[in-house]
A and B are shown apart, each in its own frame.
Chain A
Amino acid sequence: MSVLSRLPFGKPRPERNAALVSQGIEIDPVDESTLVINMGPQHPSTHGVLRLVLELDGEVIVRVTPHIGYVHTGIEKEGEFQQYVKAVTITDRMDYVSAHINNLAFSLSVERLLGVEPPPRGRYLRVLLSEIQRMASHLVWLGTHALDIGAMTVFFYAFREREKLLDLTEMLSGVRLMPSWIIPGGLRGDVPDGFFERCKAILDEFPRRVDEYETLLDQNPIWRERTQGIGVISAEECFGLGVSGPTLRASGVAYDVRKASPYSGFEEFSFGVPTGEFGDVNDRYRVRMAELRQSREIAKQAIERMPDGPTNVDDLKVVPPARAELDRSMEAVIHHFKLWTHGITPPAGEAYVPVESPKGELGFYVVSDGSNYPWRMHLRAPSFMNLQALSRMCEGRLVADVVAIIGSIDIVLGEIDR
C-alpha cells in the first residue's frame, strides 16, 4: 500500500529540513512504504487525551508509539505541599472513576507509616466502598469499551447502573466522583441512615443487569469476532512489563492483591479470582464481567457482616475527636486545633501498600521525613504500566483493533499523567 504515502499530504519543504539539519536537529527519516496517523489527543476513543502515533501499512499497524502527558497536573509534586489529610483530596483526581480506592491506597500507606489500623467497622466500610467503586469503574469500562466496538446500547445501560452506584457515594459524602471519604485513620464519618438498605436494593438487582449486558454482548457473533484472539499478551510479557490487574489475570495468572497480600480485612471475605486463558480482549472482558459479580458478592458480605462500633482509630493524634467532645474536654479542643492546623506527623520512613484497583495494582509510595507534609508521594499507577503493553498488543493488527485493545486494557489518563 505504498500508494498511500505518496499522496500529496502537505507540501514537502526541503529548504526547511535543510535548515533544521544544519542546526544539528535530527529529522526522522520517513519510511516511504508506511502511512503515519496521529490518533489523538482529540480522538473519540482514546479515553481522554492519549495520543498514539500509528504507523500503518494499509490498515495494518506496523508500530504504535504512545505519547502521554496531556493532562499532567503535577499531582505528585502538589502532594508534597499538602498535609497528609489534605493530600487525600488530590488522590481523588488521579483515577477519577475509582476515587474511593485511590483514597484507600493513600490512607493505607500513611497508616503503615503511623503504625495504626482502623477498627473492624472502618475496615468493613472501606471494603464496601471500594467494591462499590470497583463496580462503578468496571461499568464505565464496559460502556466505553462496548461503545468503541460499536455497541451503543450497552453504554447507556452501563451508565444507568453506574449512576445508581454513584448515588450511593453521593448519599454518603455529598459528591458523586470525588468523595475523599477514606482518610488516614479511618473514614470521615459513618454511613448515613438507610445507606445499607439502599445498597442492598441496588446489589440485589445487580446480577440481573450484568446478565443483561452479557446477553447483549456475549451472544453477539460480531462482538465475539471483534474480541477473540485480539491483543494477545502472555503472562511472561506481563511480568516484565509490569502489567497487573484484570489484564494480567486474563493471561492466566491468578494474582489479585486482595488475595495475595490482603489489606483492610479482605482476608475475611470469600471470593474467587477469575482468570482467563488466552490473554486476548475477550478474556479481559470476561474477567472483568466476572469481577463485577465478585465485587457484588463481597459488597453483600460486607453489609451482612458489618460490625458495630467506631469507624476510626482511637488516636487523637491521627483522627480528630467527635464534635460533642469539643464542648466538654479542653484536651479535645487542643487536639482538634492541632490536627486541623498542623495535621498528622508520621515518623520518618517509607511505606508502600498495594491495593487492587479496577485497573490493576495501585499503591502510594510515601516517603516521610517526620514532618506534617509528605516528603514524596508517588503513585504506582496501574494504567501507566499497562499502557506499555499497548504497542506490544497492537503490532500486526488493524486500526479497528487498536480501539478494541485500548478499551480492553482500561486506561484512565488522569492516572497515567497524574
Chain B
Amino acid sequence: MATDAGADAGLTAADDARKVQAALPHAVLDILENGNDAWLVVDRSSIQETLQYLRDEPSLAYRFFYECLGVDYLDPGTGSPILGKAHRFEVVYNLLSIHDPRSQMGSGRRLFVKVPVPADDPVVPTVTGIFPGAAFPEREIYDMFGIRFDGHPDLRRLLMPDDWIGHPQRKDYPLGGERVQFPNGTYGPSVGEKVVQHPGEGFFGRTADEIE
C-alpha cells in the first residue's frame, strides 16, 4: 500500500504496531503481518487504552476510525473454532493514520486492531468514548454476533427488528430456515437444517407474545 511521502516513508504499519507493543507491552498479544497490512492483536481489557494511545500519540496519529466488525470463527460442524484459534469471536478495528497537510500529522498508514472474544463471555469495552463513530458498528456487531459492548450509550439492535431472537451472523445461525407452510400441509424448503422461530413476524396475525 503506497503511503504519503514523508520523513518516515520507509516505515510500515507493522512498525507502528511494534511501537505500540513497546509502549503497551501488557496490552498487545501478537502482531500479524501480510504484505503491507498489519494486525495488532490486543487483549480486550486494554482495547480502550490501545486505541487512545494510537489516536493521541503524535508519531502514530491513527485518528481516522473506519469501522469495526465482528468475525465468528466457530465451525458449526465440529463446534470448535477454525484455523486453530482459541477463541470464537474477533472484533476488528480498522484505523487510518490520516495525513493532514495542515498539521503535518499522520502517515497515511492503515492498521487493524484485533480483539479476541471468547464465546462464553462475549463482552468488549466500548470505544465510543474515543471514536464516536463506533456507535453504529458496535450496535451492528451486537445485533449480528451478540457481542456486548460495555459502556455503549445506546446498545440496541440496529438492523434486525427489536424483538428478533438470536444473532443472525453467528455461524450456528442458519441462513434460511423459516418454516413456510403450504396448503397441503408440507413445508417449504429451508436452506439450513435448523428451524428458527421468528417471534417478530406475526404469522397468522399472531404477535410475539402469543407465539411464546
Contacts and interface: CB of A to CB of B under 8 A. Distances in A.
A125 B176 CA distance: 37
Contact of B66 (A254, A380, A417): A380
B71 A376 contact: yes
Interface in B79-114: 82-83, 92, 94, 98-102, 108, 110, 112
Interface string B138-168: 0000001000000000000111110000001
Nearest to B4: A260
B159 A417 contact: yes
Interface string A122-144: 00000000000000000000000
Contact of A76 (B73, B98, B108, B169): B169
A240 B1 CA distance: 23
12 contacts: A112-B35, A239-B65, A240-B65, A242-B65, A242-B67, A244-B64, A253-B100, A255-B98, A375-B73, A378-B71, A380-B66, A388-B136
- Judged by DSSP, the binding face of A is mixed
What is the interface residue range for chain B against chain A? 35 or more
B136 A74 contact: no
Interface in A366-398: 367, 369, 375-376, 378, 380, 384-385, 387-388
Contacts of A252: 102
Q: Which 3 A-B pairs have the closest CB atoms?
A: A242-B133, A69-B159, A241-B133
B168 A77 contact: yes
A185 B41 CA distance: 31
B108 A388 contact: no
Interface of A: 68-69, 72, 74, 76-78, 80-81, 112, 235-236, 239-244, 252-255, 260-262, 267, 348-352, 354, 361, 365, 367, 369, 375-376, 378, 380, 384-385, 387-388, 417-418
Given A242-B64, A365-B69, A77 B175 contact: yes
B132 A262 contact: no
A246 B73 CA distance: 35
Contacts of A267: 2
B211 interface: no
Contacts, number: 108
Contacts of B110: 261, 354
A240 B65 CA distance: 6
B83 A369 contact: yes
B31 to A, nearest CB: 14
B47 interface: no
A68 B158 contact: yes
Nearest to B90: A367
Nearest to B131: A240
B143 to A, nearest CB: 8
B184 to A, nearest CB: 29
Interface string B58-71: 00000111110101
A350 B90 CA distance: 12
Contacts of B168: 74, 77
Interface of B: 1-4, 34-35, 37, 39, 63-67, 69, 71-73, 82-83, 92, 94, 98-102, 108, 110, 112, 131-133, 135-137, 144, 157-161, 168-169, 175, 191
Contacts of B159: 68-69, 72, 417-418
Given A69-B159, A352-B112, A388-B133, A260 B39 contact: no
Nearest to B132: A240
A74 B175 CA distance: 9
A367 B100 CA distance: 31
B2 A262 contact: yes
A387 B70 CA distance: 20
Contacts of A367: 71
Nearest to B169: A77
Contacts of A375: 71, 73, 82
B83 A348 contact: yes
Contact of B136 (A235, A354, A384): A384
Contacts of B158: 68-69
A239 B71 contact: no
Contacts of B66: 242, 244, 361, 380, 385
Nearest to B170: A77
Nearest to B64: A239
A240 B98 CA distance: 11
Given A74-B168, A239-B98, A240-B65, A69 B71 contact: no
Contacts of B94: 352, 365, 380
A351 B82 CA distance: 17
Contacts of A236: 63
B132 A388 contact: yes
B136 A387 contact: yes
A252 B175 CA distance: 43
Contacts of B136: 384-385, 387-388
Contacts of A243: 133
Contacts of A365: 69, 92, 94
Nearest to A387: B136
Contacts of B37: 351-352
A72 B168 CA distance: 12
Most chain-B CB neighbours within 10 Å: which of A69, A112, A388? A69
A314 to B, nearest CB: 21
A259 to B, nearest CB: 9
Contact of B99 (A241, A255, A378, A417): A255
